[in-house]
Structure 1
Amino acid sequence: MILVAGSEKGGVGKSTVITNVAVELARRGYSLAVVDGDRQRSTARWAVDREEAGHEPKIFVVEKLGSLQQTLRELDEKYDFVLVDVAGKDSKEMRTAMTAAHQLLVLTQSSQFDLDTLATVDQLIDTARDFNPELRVRGMLTRVSTNAFESESGDAREYLADYPNIEPLRTVLYERKAYRDVVGEGLGVVEWKNAKAAREIRGLVEELIG
């Protein structure tokens, strides 16, 4: 399965999602490849840190810019999962990845600035489905406040419901220090000491593969 994490805005946590989902899938015994299609190379740098630290299981990461369609299809023949991290903008990498993907995971924070970008994403989905009609699109809120009285996430879920192309996930990722702490170690939160963050990633994986 080819899974692309995308958005029209940076800072939503695409690399965080891809690296953490990769670790959890690998720990479950799936074979996988990760494609870093973002010039910032966040996922690729994380993979180098993981390899240098000698963590197991190893995560295979490919860096590729430009058209990703053929690369993703070739990798899909060899691996159970191909996870794709692209830049937070309308890019050639994102558009070509969407034409090959089985699932697109649209990430957004609950701020109005982020939610406003969904209209553009919705148009990109329509275009991608002209070439890939079976593309499944899921939406997930990220970096949600852990404040017990926060209401933005509820409002954001209602906003997502206005876009029938995007199927909202039950899982949300909260703003937790653990997600930042593991990056420099080349780890995922399921290998760390924050049980709440680990449950979020496990829940996300269950939804994505279930």
Structure 2
Amino acid sequence: MIVLIGSQKGGVGKSTMAVNIAGYLILKKKKTAIIVDADDQKSIMTWFNDRQNVEDVPQIPVVAASGKIKETLLELNRHYDYVIVDTAGRDSAELRSGLLAADLFISPLRPSQMDLDTIGYLSEMFSTAQEYNEKVKGHIVLNLCPTNIFINEANEAAEVLSEYPELKLVNNRLCDRKIYRDAWGEALTVHEAHNEKAQHEIESLVTEVIL
């Protein structure tokens, strides 16, 4: 399965989501997964290189790709159960080409007006891709949500997102937890950092959307 993670805005947590999804799939030991870093910032490649100095953690394969990545993704899909693709936070050749190969498109979104303003364009792009790749399914994930239960931003954003049926809103949300940043800084996943709340969020997301 090719899982493409992309958005029309940076800073929404795509790279963090990609490494934690791949890490959890590999942790289950029933599946193989590889991450394709198709973002020109190459944040995941940096994370991968730092991880080589971490002891007693499983290998999470990472490769870089750019430009028209469709054929690269299809070839990797012949060798891995899951190909997790991280693209830049904008319209890009990698995002458009990746959509032509993907089985699943996941777009993380902050519950903010600036992020919501990008959904119309993203929805149109995804609908166009579906004309050429009928199998691809699209999802929006509310990410970096406030942990304060009295802040209603996520629920308000969910109401707006219900107006875009092309991209289905995922029930499970990821919160703005410091552990995601701390784990990244140590080249770990949240499962390796042993944070139960973050682990549950990733497991619930993967179970709902991918497995």
TM interval, shorter chain, is: over 0.9
Give the Cα–Cα distance (whole angstroms) in 1 for the partners of residues 209 and 63 of structure 2: 22
**What are the residue-to-residue correspondences of 1:112-123 with 2, within 5 Å?**
112-123=113-124
Show the counterpart of 1:60. 61
Show the counterpart of 1:179. 180
The residue type paired with residue 117 of structure 1 is T
The residue type paired with residue 76 of structure 2 is L
**What are the residue-to-residue correspondences of 1:68-83 with 2, within 5 Å?**
68-83=69-84
Show the counterpart of 1:16. 16
Aligned residue pairs: how many? 210
**Structure 1: segments with no counterpart, 5+ residues:** none
Q: What is the CA distance between 1:195 and its match in structure 2?
A: 1.2
| Partner SS state of residue 89, structure 1 | coil
**Structure 2: segments with no counterpart, 5+ residues:** none
Give the Cα–Cα distance (whole angstroms) in 1 for the partners of residues 209 and 142 of structure 2: 14
| Partner SS state of residue 52, structure 1 | coil
- Please state which structure has a larger fraction of its residues in helix: 1
Q: What is the CA distance between 1:62 and its match in structure 2?
A: 0.6
Kindly, what percent of the aligned residue pairs are identical?
A: 40
RMSD of Structure 2 on Structure 1 (CA): 0.9
The residue type paired with residue 12 of structure 1 is V
Q: What is the CA distance between 1:55 and its match in structure 2?
A: 4.1
The reply to whether residue 91 of structure 1 matches residue 95 of structure 2 is no
Where do 4+ consecutive residues of structure 1 move more than 6 Å? none
What's the CA shift string for 1:140-186, capped at 9, x where partnerless?
00110111101110111111100010111111110000000011211
Show the counterpart of 2:107. 106
Residues 151 and 202 from structure 1, CA distance in 2 versus in 1: closer, same or farther, beyond 3 angstroms? same
Show the counterpart of 1:151. 152
TM-score normalised over the length of structure 1: 0.97
Show the counterpart of 2:26. 26
| Partner SS state of residue 40, structure 1 | coil
Q: In 2, are the aligned partners of 1:4 and 1:105 still within 8 Å (CA)? A: yes
What's the CA shift string for 1:85-127, capped at 9, x where partnerless?
0000000000000000000001111101100100010111111
The residue type paired with residue 90 of structure 1 is D
Moved more, 50-59 or 193-202: 50-59
Give the Cα–Cα distance (whole angstroms) in 2 for the partners of residues 71 and 124 of structure 1: 21
Give the Cα–Cα distance (whole angstroms) in 1 for the partners of residues 26 and 124 of structure 2: 33
The residue type paired with residue 63 of structure 2 is V
| Partner SS state of residue 86, structure 2 | strand
Give the Cα–Cα distance (whole angstroms) in 1 for the partners of residues 28 and 177 of structure 2: 24
| Partner SS state of residue 173, structure 2 | coil
Give the Cα–Cα distance (whole angstroms) in 1 for the partners of residues 73 and 183 of structure 2: 27
Show the counterpart of 2:45. 44
The residue type paired with residue 184 of structure 2 is V
TM-score normalised over the length of structure 2: 0.97
